[in-house]
Amino acid sequence: MTTYILGISCFYHDSAASLIKDGEIISAVQEERFTRKKHDSSFPLKSIKYCLNSQRINLKDISAIVYYEKPLLTFERLLETYIGTAPRGIRSFIASMQVWLKEKIYLKSFIRNEFKKIQKELIPQEKPFIPKLLFSEHHLSHAASAFYPSPFKEAVILCMDAVGEWVTTSAWIGKDNKITPLWEINFPHSLGLLYSAFTYYCGFKVNSGEYKLMGLAPYGDPKYVDLIKDNLIEIKEDGTFRLDMSYFKFHRGFRMTSKRFHNLFKNLPRDENEKITQFYMDIAASIQVVTEEIVLKIVKTLRKETGLSNICLAGGVALNCVANGKILEEEIFDEIWIQPASGDAGTSIGGALFAHYEYFKNTRKIYPQDSMKGSFLGPNFSNEDIINYLNSINATFKSLEDEEIFQKVANLINEGKVVGWFNGPMEFGPRALGARSILGDPRNKKMQSIMNLKIKYRESFRPFAPSILEEDLSSQFDTDVKSPYMLLVSKVKKNLWRDIPETEHCKKGLNKLNIQRSLIPAVTHVDYSARVQTVSKSTNPRYYNLINKFKEITNCPTLINTSFNVRGEPIVCTPQDAYRCFMRTEMDILVLQNQILYKENQINIKMNESWFQEFNLD
């Protein structure tokens, strides 16, 4: 008999639902893609309905629903933290308690009621049926999301994030269908919250702007590393750490950093509208160096303590692909596998898999690559669906066979056009991997600026990632380790570097942006690094064929790949979202599966300029 388990994560950020069938991951999606609210934390109603509808099942077919953490333990942490800091933090405590007493403390009942409504909607004629409701633990869900889909029979698992119930950093051993804890570091000592405190200090949004801080770091000099290590954090030789909480306020207030923190760096937190000065670039560079040092020390300790040769990573800190690249560079473990949805969304998969293996005691199936299926686990739309939609809005388009559309789109990219590429099932997780992507020519020295300022409407300093044919990886980047989920950073190969005139060497800060560093300048960051995605024919054949066609024309096996959205908007989900984004930006071409649309041929739709206000800046 087929067994389905539904995993959900919600109420903090990035709510999501995932469905597994006899241990196989079938579907997974974040709620933000449907509601169009970035990092939406609400109950994932639309995601749950999508998962059920994708298999044409209802709750009677589900063996268990798994919530990704234990809310009462989180409530306990809030109470104990307040008692430890009282009377300071009373305002944030009252605000937090209002939410808890109104909603979260009764979370079990709330979830059951929501599922009753779903089932009533699916089968109105029957009495509501609610499957068994299980609760995992936050870091256990992260660990399960990292180990079970990995190709390893046995591995060390390292989870690092802001905080779960109590835990902020945890190490585990996964073997067959068992996950066993090794050790943990508890709140308030958190590497994720330390990085978020600097994200806040540099004027970016917490739980959203951390990747901006990482992208800003190469523009700075890490001149504050010693100041951070001498004051904010004690790092032991094994990588474990302890924060000096007098420099922070995240445990007792609405802000992340305290007056003492600001005095230490002799500057106030940057306002989001202020210019980014060299000071904040140096701050970003410094905290990135400290983060890498901690991660490397912990990873080296785990290798030494366990003797195991493989490692799995999850948790928000595992999205720091620069730190991940350092682990790879130092060859501490033979192989590394990182959950592509490493943030809280991925815990919906982890919770479901944990129940399948630990609660229901099933034998583990190991897939030779991994079982995330390239992360293409979201909604898919047929050519018929797309054509019906385009006809309904009188859009001008042409339908082409695969071979013809790959040739045409590759030629257009070679001519400098920017293409919205909507292809197959949507990705799960924060990265666009060739299903909902905006593509461009990496050899074009103006392309980074064009795509940042005219298409994405985002900060000019932010780098773009390259998608490269898997077999050509070593021809352009200094690695031979596959990176299908864009979670590893590598240097551009030296033979592609360009000689930089002496006059440009002295450029500082954002002026470095204007230097053409390599033959693929649009994907070469100022330190010659790139966040690489390798594309395989077996996992993503249409995207692979497009890049291959571009290579045949240009001898370049790489495309720029950035997510299909504008700043502050969730990645597009439907053809409607994609068409709207296409028409509102200066994108030249839109490809919806086998349909191609040219901007110049579309009806001149008058766009209300206020559309950009729909999305809160991230």
* 48 and 128 inside one domain: yes
CA distance 421 to 443: 19
* 332 and 355 inside one domain: no
What's the rounded mean pLDDT across residues 441-453?
91
Task: Specify the DSSP class assigned to residue 358.
Answer: I
For the chain, what is the domain count? Answer: 3
- Interacting residues of 242 by C-beta distance below 8 A, sequence separation 6+: 189, 233, 234
Please confirm whether the linkage preceding 87 is cis (ω < 30° from 0). yes
Confidence check: pLDDT of 616 > 80: no
Query: Does residue 587 lie within any of the structural domains?
Result: yes
Confidence check: pLDDT of 469 > 70: yes
Confidence check: pLDDT of 609 > 90: no
Confidence check: pLDDT of 610 > 80: no
Query: Among residues of the chain, what percentage have pLDDT more than 90?
Result: 80
* 330 and 346 inside one domain: no
Query: Does residue 450 lie within any of the structural domains?
Result: yes
Q: What is the pTM of this model?
A: 0.93
CATH number, residue 428: 3.90.870.20
Residue 239: exposed, middle, or buried by beta-carbon count in 10 A (0-12, 13-18, 19+)? buried
What's the rounded mean pLDDT across residues 98-120?
84
Query: Does residue 131 lie within any of the structural domains?
Result: yes
Confidence check: pLDDT of 575 > 70: yes
At residue 469, the 3 state secondary structure works out as strand
Residue where a domain terminates, one of 314, 338, 362: 338
Q: ∠ CA(424), CA(426), CA(429), 5° rounding?
A: 150
Other beta carbons within 10 Å of 189: 19
Q: Quickly tell me which residue has 């030494």 as its tokens.
A: 304
CATH number, residue 291: 3.30.420.40
Return the amino acid letter for 588: D
* 251 and 353 inside one domain: no
Q: What is the mean pLDDT of the chain?
A: 93
CA distance 257 to 376: 38
- Interacting residues of 87 by C-beta distance below 8 A, sequence separation 6+: none
Query: Does residue 169 lie within any of the structural domains?
Result: no
Helix residue spans in 415-472 (DSSP H)? 447-450
Distances (CA, A) of 531 to 135, 323, 465, 492, 560: 35, 11, 5, 10, 11
The H or E element containing residue 542 is helix 541-554
Query: Does residue 156 lie within any of the structural domains?
Result: no
**What are the pLDDT digits (tens) for 202-229?**
999 998 899 999 999 999 999 999 999 9
* 292 and 249 inside one domain: yes
Query: Does residue 86 lie within any of the structural domains?
Result: no
State which residues form the domain around 449: 377-613
Query: Does residue 262 lie within any of the structural domains?
Result: yes
What was the pLDDT predicted at 612?
61
What was the pLDDT predicted at 78?
76
* 479 and 345 inside one domain: no
What's the rounded mean pLDDT across residues 310-322?
96
* 306 and 257 inside one domain: yes
- Under 8 Å between Cβ of 216 and 280: yes
What was the pLDDT predicted at 349?
98
CA distance 513 to 508: 9
- Interacting residues of 121 by C-beta distance below 8 A, sequence separation 6+: none
**What are the pLDDT digits (tens) for 494-543?**
999 998 887 777 787 888 887 899 999 999 999 999 999 999 999 999 99
- Under 8 Å between Cβ of 175 and 197: no
End-to-end CA distance of the chain: 45
* 504 and 575 inside one domain: yes
Query: How would residue 461 be classed by pLDDT, with cut points 50, 70 and 90?
Result: confident
* 254 and 396 inside one domain: no
* 429 and 577 inside one domain: yes
Q: 135 phi and psi, to 5 degrees?
A: -125, 125
What was the pLDDT predicted at 253?
75
What was the pLDDT predicted at 613?
64
Query: Does residue 533 lie within any of the structural domains?
Result: yes
What's the rounded mean pLDDT across residues 115-137?
91
12 versus 337: which is more confidently predicted?
A: 337
What's the rounded mean pLDDT across residues 153-170?
96
* 511 and 392 inside one domain: yes
- Under 8 Å between Cβ of 469 and 548: yes
478 versus 616: which is more confidently predicted?
A: 478
267 versus 90: which is more confidently predicted?
A: 267
* 142 and 245 inside one domain: no
Task: Specify the DSSP class assigned to residue 501.
Answer: P
Number of H helices, E strands in the chain: 20, 21
CA distance 449 to 522: 8
